[in-house]
Structure 1
């Protein structure tokens, strides 16, 4: 240290009630300035922590700024604006990580909300639209989801192997091969008599009932049906109506989509993951 200069660590209180705690440098003339690591606290409870050089925060090193609403910023600044890589942490726990340019996010942006969910997006000139990471992606390992090859690995035979195989393989009879390919297939006779089963007997009974009921309705009307036939026809009509309803196109409720894309909703319910920068330390 040159003669007439002094270095040390002290707490200074300014006339406007701002406070500085940390390293300083002073001259015998009475001039003192911030030099080294220190914390500057403003009267409205904003904190600027970092390494100071010539009474200014060193722009070549990371600084930490905490605002009175408990939001914090850690990263690079230039002329008291966010410039360079940094992390803005909200008081509720969300963190915004990106490159900053003149107090605004730029380029690719990563946001981690207070529940630990990851969001990503690209910064625009006025706002940043973030998309949430797929909720199941963290449960997938490296092997899960890979497709299996449908082509088996094969080895190319040598010329000697080709000659040996050629001598052993007999030339097929093309006419016999054609007869086998286009021949009608024959089924092996089953040892089970399906016509003697309860299912087949119910099927035959239902088929006969359907034929009888529809003949009576077409000629004599519904009043000609017996009680059993009326009960059967009621069940048949109900099941036929259900099948018909299934074929009808389902009506889609667009209320949620309209609410999501409605301009009034956008203006009154802005997403919390959009970061709006503000100036600080001007003047």
Structure 2
């Protein structure tokens, strides 16, 4: 097609074409993935990997230049979140693992543990119930008889 760049994929609608590339931002962060170009600006859109200068890595879906959809965020501390993102926040179902080995699997609302979930402590004991940000009244211990 005239005017189409090599490696460029066309979207199904008449919107901007999805391109693939690697970019290094002024602060040293790196993005490798899909994007669109609008008014001379690069907008992350589709699948991509963003690596910060401190070593944090997001590998997942982007929309409108924000983490939106399924993805995995590995913090430089070693903490890892895998799940749903909305506008750069943990939002929906996901799993958060702390560097000490404890984890939470359940619902998130705007980066907060919010809703039904399971917390696994450092002794591999599981606590289940409703989480409300920093509180979890009435958690139930799951007894395992192995």
What TM-score, normalized by structure 1, do the two folds share?
0.41
Equivalent position of 1:207 in the other structure: none
Which structure has greater strand proportion? Answer: 2
What secondary structure sits across from 1:77 in the alignment? strand
Tell me which of 16, 21, 25 is aligned to 1:10: 21
What secondary structure sits across from 2:58 in the alignment? strand
Equivalent position of 2:57 in the other structure: 47
1:5–1:25 Cα contact (<8 Å) kept? no
What TM-score, normalized by structure 2, do the two folds share?
0.73
2:66–2:88 Cα contact (<8 Å) kept? no
> 1:86-165 alignment to 2 at 5 Å?
86-124=94-132, 126-129=134-137, 130-134=139-143, 137-139=144-146
Distance 2:125 2:51 in 1: 33
Equivalent position of 1:185 in the other structure: none
Aligned residues: 134
**Structure of greater Rg:** 1
Stretches of structure 1 that go unaligned for 5 or more consecutive residues are: 140-283
Equivalent position of 1:77 in the other structure: 85
Check 1:126–1:63 CA distance in 2 against 1; reply closer, same or farther (3 A cut).
same
Which structure has greater helix proportion? Answer: 1
The alpha carbon displacement at 1:94 in A equals: 1.6
The alpha carbon displacement at 1:138 in A equals: 2.4
Check 1:54–1:109 CA distance in 2 against 1; reply closer, same or farther (3 A cut).
closer
